Structure 1
Amino acid sequence: MAHQVRAVVAREKNAPVTLDTIVVPDPGPGEALVKVEACGVCHTDLHYRDGGINDDFPFLLGHEAAGRVEAVGAGVTDVAPGDFVILNWRAVCGQCRACRRGRPWYCFATHNAAQRMTLLDGTPLAPALGIGAFAEKTLVAAGQCTKVDPAASAAAAGLLGCGVMAGFGAAVNTAGVGRGDSVAVIGCGGVGAAAIAGARIAGATTIVAVDVDERKLQRAAGMGATHTVDASTADVVEAVRELTGGYGADVVIDAVGRPETFRQAFYARDLAGIAVLVGVPTPEMRLELPLLDVFARGGAVKSSWYGDCLPSRDFPMLIDLYLQGRFDLDAFVSETIGLGDVEKAFEEMHHGEVLRSVVVL
């Protein structure tokens, strides 16, 4: 039996979102129906609304979500009705060349639910990142559900589904930050703040937060940054070098994703240091670097897609750290809102007023 539920839909490019009734099918083979408890408002949702991802309107927005499994389809064994889960972008296949090499976080054949959710008139919806969780219920591939300790707050846990995992993973998984390392993070929104928190937990001793917004720098200090740099007034490369003995940081993470910030990351690292790109560029952006500098400075230049995470491995571990009081996920929740407040949350995001607004159902 199909389910009619309330959901936030982007019907047209650059138009305000609408609160609609949508139709969610019962789960088919390999699928799960999830009753959403909370979903963070991410910049990616705004990019969908503004046509920055693709033109497959209408979109069912929302993807940083946690909730309870309500039903599963045939063949599903990893989760069951009643399980508290965090949703992830795409289920790994277990069969592609990346999976067979023991690197499922690079899976080249990830997948989502086969059935489509629709508007009442039958118009198919494109769920944001294959999830679509600004809704009372959503349909996903069962592999998109990761079971975690139900003692966790849904508002905090859901944020692991995207931005927090991307930032934390950029520091811990991609860069491999370790004890005694120096780290600089350029851009201190949700992803950058999570990278700072990850670097602190991994044992970095010098953590430099870089941003043009004093409010974000103050929040970064609360997440574990030992130093802050106002990029609107300081030379970022020189400031990071000065704070790291004149050498540059062992790891520099660009959580902005622009040519100028990645160039800063490249030159603000120590010789043989690591520069990590986790901020998402737009298609027209181009980067130019002297090839001799790439050779002479050594080290590594890496991109971090979704924090190189494996949800089945990383989500439960991070929830355990949260419940132990070692990872303050609650600090990422600036406010809780209702389904009807998403458009207002987009405006607050534009003005840098929040780290994360979270829809609570």
Structure 2
Amino acid sequence: MQQVKAVVAMSKDAPVEVVTINVPDPGPGEAVVKVQACGVCHTDLHYRQGGINDEFPFLLGHEAAGVVEAVGEGVTQVAPGDFVVLNWRAVCGECRACERGEPQYCFATHNATQKMTLAEGEHAGTELTPALGIGAFAEKTLVAAGQCTKVDPAARPAAVGLLGCGVMAGLGAAINTGNVTRGRTVAVIGCGGVGMAAIAGSALAGASKVVAVDIDPRKLEQALAMGATHTVNSAEVDAVEGIKAICSDHGAEGADVVIEAVGRPETWKQAFYARDLAGTVVLVGVPTPDMKVPDLPLIDVFGRGGSLKSSWYGDCLPSRDFPMLTDLYLQGRLDLDAFVSEEIGIDDVEAAFDKMHHGDVLRSVVVLEG
């Protein structure tokens, strides 16, 4: 058992606190990871706001990279000293998706069996719920060994740690779910961290046009640096008409692939109508439980053909995708550093939430000392 500092959300909408927690020694199938960097993601804010569930207190943080410190019995895939990116898809190998050779859709991913707990005060001993089964706003965390993906240790932890969630979600929405390939036209609605990653992924895949859509001119300017070829300010121009005008070559009626990275019914409807005939819509923005599919004539769903998809974690397989994307980063072909707006300390998470809410950063990244 070790005691470390960590960021915890004690109750709904309360400011986060830096507290001392207990991290058990790893049991069978588990690993303790010394966290070097962890991105501040919208999902962490959703946990703090009670938007995921009410299993407080939450140990926040999940976009992380670090070094394996210790492993439990039966662990062979990682060893102490390995540099890893943490993931929330530790595939089980036994569910129907895994058995049919599609582990990227695993329905029974693993988390650590033991619980980390609060170490001090009146709530000492209270079990913590780690965000996405990780909980990495902490000097050290306990995870299932399968949540550790080895990557090249030459990589910058603050950059490659973002593959653990948002950047992978966006890249994967384009490359894995949307099947973007060379010559395709792509539109991305919503240019936050996930949308920017979808833009970068589309450019990496060789898309001929990548249209960035947002209401914030700052984000649209940054999207051009990430690989967008065109922008549409949907506060000034109808998003659907703007996309169609840009992608109208050879009689096309929209983009081949439209990626919705906001998670709202109205923007999903824009994506539906902004795609070409037989085109693909990819929903990667995360809606709230109360949101409904917008009212669409069923004849439009039938008559336009194509695919309406959702992308969960970018349909990634961490063991395949994390090392590959890290290598592309080290080769200078994927600029993960561009996603890191600032490096902060463990005491600055609450302020980072505020910056994220106002669109001032792509990612604040907590960097831990030692």
Same fold (TM over 0.5): yes
CA distance in 2: counterparts of 1:140 and 1:215, whole angstroms: 37
**How far does residue 91 in structure 1 lie from its aligned partner after superposition?**
1.1
Code of the residue aligned with 2:234 in structure 1: it is: A
Per-residue displacement from partner, 1:58-94 (whole Å, max 9, x unpaired)?
A: 0000000000000000000000000000000131100
> Are positions 1:268 and 2:274 aligned together?
yes
DSSP 3-state at the match of 1:178: coil
Q: 1:87 corresponds to which residue?
A: 86
| Residue in structure 1 matching 2:347, options 329, 340, 349 | 340
Q: Which residue of 2 aligns with 1:251?
A: 257
Give, in whole Å, the separation in 2 of the partners of 1:314 and 1:289.
35
Q: Are 1:209 and 2:208 counterparts? A: no
Q: Is the 8 A contact 1:213 1:230 kept in 2?
A: yes
Pick one of 327, 331, 336 that aligns with 1:324: 331
Amino acid at match of 1:223: M
- Taking only the aligned residue pairs, the percentage that are identical comes to 76
Residue from 292, 297, 312 that aligns with 2:299: 292
SS across alignment from 1:129: helix
For residues 120-179 of structure 1, the C-alpha deviation after alignment (integer angstroms, 9 at most, x for no partner) is: 110000000000000000000000000000000000010000000000000000010000
1:108 Cα offset (Å): 1.1
- For residues 340 and 44 of structure 2, the distance between their equivalents in structure 1, rounded to whole angstroms, comes to 17
- The answer as to 2:37 corresponding to 1:38 is yes
Question: Could you say which residue in structure 1 is the equivalent of 2:158?
Answer: 155
Q: Is the 8 A contact 1:90 1:130 kept in 2?
A: no
Residue type at the aligned position of 2:113: A
CA apart distance, 1:5? 0.1
Deviations 1:253-285 (A, max 9, x none): 000010000000000000000000000000111
Provide the residue aligned with 1:111 in structure 2: 110
Deviates more, 1:282-291 or 1:39-48: 282-291
Who is 2:194 aligned against? Answer: 191
Give distance in 2, aligned partners of 1:63 and 1:293. 39
Partner deviation per Cα, 1:192-231 (whole Å, 9 max, x = no partner): 0000000000000100000011111111111000001011
Q: Distance in 2 between matches of 1:9 and 1:178?
A: 42
Paired with 1:89 and 1:347, the residues of 2 have a C-alpha distance of: 25
CA deviation after TM superposition for structure 1 residue 235, in Å: 0.6
Could you tell me which of 304, 310, 317 is aligned with 2:317?
Answer: 310
Please state whether the residue corresponding to 1:314 is helix, strand or coil.
helix
Structure 2 distance, partners of 1:266, 1:327, is: 29
CA distance in 1, matches of 2:125, 2:18: 16
Instruction: Determine if contact 2:89/2:318 at 8 Å carries over to the other structure.
Output: no
The CA distance in 2 between the partners of 1:310 and 1:144, in whole Å, is 11
Cα distance in 1 for residues equivalent to 2:298 and 2:263: 20
What is the CA RMSD across the aligned residues, in angstroms?
A: 0.5
Moved over 2 A (4+): none
> How far has the Cα of 1:286 moved from its partner?
0.8
**SS of residue matched to 1:112:** coil
8 Å contact from structure 1 (residues 182, 205) kept in 2 = yes
Tell me how far apart the structure 2 counterparts of residues 62 and 35 of structure 1 sit (CA, whole Å). 13
- Alpha-carbon separation, structure 2, partners of 1:191 and 1:234: 23
Aligned equivalents of 1:98, 1:249: Cα separation in 2: 31
Counterpart of 1:15 in structure 2 is 14
Separation in 1 of the partners of 2:260 and 2:342? 26
AA at the equivalent of 2:278: A
Q: Which amino acid aligns with 1:308?
A: D
Stretches of structure 2 lacking an aligned partner (at least 5 in a row): none
Question: In the alignment, residue 220 of structure 1 is paired with which amino acid?
Answer: A
Corresponding residue for residue 279 of structure 1: 285
Alignment of 1:168 with 2:175, yes or no, is no
Q: How many residues align?
A: 360
Give 5+ residue unaligned stretches, structure 1: none
Distance 2:89 2:197 in 1: 21
